[in-house]
């Protein structure tokens, strides 16, 4: 099967190009160097329209259509201040996660007293870099990570505070941030509450385009599952589930998916009870046309 990768940046990898914070002793940066060896990579090119026959892409040379089966693997998006319900001023010093990530990895300073809103692998990886140069780094959150603990973050000198960012103060530059009635002095706020992003409505989606995956090896596994499902063909299994999962439909010949739940969660798969023994478990499915998964 001939595979073409369409990449909007100058090189593939996205966030993981510079990700050195380990998950189960695996670093995203190492995975990129291991897997990004395909000769058919089209960089500086963006997809802007999709249909059942392929995808339209644009570059400096113009636009054209690439025919074939399309898989969206374009990553997450950060929730906006409107979605998060953050009010107040709109001064400089407010960054979305990926913008801050790009600046930091190009050697720029974005602030000295930094608050990161969101507790996940991506915000923690950023915090691990900021903690080496900033006077103070605080992660505030409403939901925890499936793979990282609060203790490992505090051990690297980052303060962790549970609470929702409600207001930004500062007329020109951020001066402070209100977190559930508590005012924290800061010059930088980084928005790192994340959502999956499938802006073209592509049917086949993997990685953070489908659900937020904090483990890079699980992104590799999810990609393998959908690739095998497309290659094998055959009748699909429709998965009915109240928690995030990849893929939503999978071939009966593959019959496995990845669930976005943590270790110890109890599930019922078509009536059969199981207990999850790892974050983002790979669940084997019965070969029915429709499978229901319930969280107990």
- 119-178: pLDDT as tens digits: 999 999 999 999 999 999 999 999 999 999 999 999 999 999 999 999 999 989 999 999
- What's the Cα-to-Cα distance from 94 to each of 40, 100, 126, rounded to whole Å? 37, 9, 15
Phi, psi angles (nearest 5°) of residue 108: -90, 155
- What CATH number was assigned to the domain covering residues 76-195? 3.50.50.60
- 16-61: pLDDT as tens digits: 999 999 999 999 998 887 766 666 888 899 999 999 899 999 999 8
pTM above 0.75, yes or no: yes
Phi, psi angles (nearest 5°) of residue 76: -85, 175
Helix H, strand E, coil C: the string for 39-62 is CCEECCCEEEEEECCEEEEEECCE
- 59-78: pLDDT as tens digits: 998 999 999 999 998 899 99
Q: What is the DSSP letter of 79?
A: P
The full set of domain ranges for the chain reads 1-68, 76-195, 198-296
- 208-266: pLDDT as tens digits: 999 999 999 999 999 999 999 999 988 999 999 988 999 988 999 999 999 999 999 99
């Amino acid at each position: 099967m001939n595979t073409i990768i369409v990449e909007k940046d100058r090189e593939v990898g996205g966030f993981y190009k510079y990700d050195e914070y380990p998950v189960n002793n695996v670093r995203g940066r190492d995975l990129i160097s291991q897997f990004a060896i395909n000769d058919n990579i089209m960089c500086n090119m963006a997809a802007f329209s999709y249909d059942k026959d392929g995808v339209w892409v644009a570059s400096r040379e113009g636009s054209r259509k690439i025919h074939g089966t399309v898989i969206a693997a374009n990553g997450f998006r950060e929730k906006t201040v409107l979605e998060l319900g953050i009010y107040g001023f709109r001064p400089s010093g407010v960054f979305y996660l990926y913008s801050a990530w790009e600046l930091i990895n190009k050697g720029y300073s974005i602030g000295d007293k930094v608050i990161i809103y969101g507790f996940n692998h991506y915000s923690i990886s950023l915090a691990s870099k900021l903690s080496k140069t900033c006077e103070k780094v605080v992660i505030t959150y409403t939901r925890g990570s499936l793979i990282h603990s609060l203790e490992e973050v505090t051990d690297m000198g980052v303060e962790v505070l549970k609470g929702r960012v409600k207001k930004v103060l500062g007329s020109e530059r951020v001066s402070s941030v209100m977190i559930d009635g508590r005012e924290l002095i800061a010059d930088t706020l980084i928005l790192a509450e994340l959502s999956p992003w499938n802006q073209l409505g592509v049917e086949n989606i993997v990685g953070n385009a489908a659900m937020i995956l904090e483990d890079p090896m699980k992104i590799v596994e999810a990609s393998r599952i959908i690739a095998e499902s497309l290659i094998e063909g055959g009748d699909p299994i429709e998965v009915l589930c109240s928690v995030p999962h990849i893929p939503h439909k999978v071939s009966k010949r593959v019959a496995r998916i990845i669930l976005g739940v943590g270790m110890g969660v109890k599930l019922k798969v078509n009536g059969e009870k199981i207990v999850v023994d790892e974050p983002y478990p790979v669940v084997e499915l019965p070969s029915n046309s429709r499978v229901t998964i319930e969280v107990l």
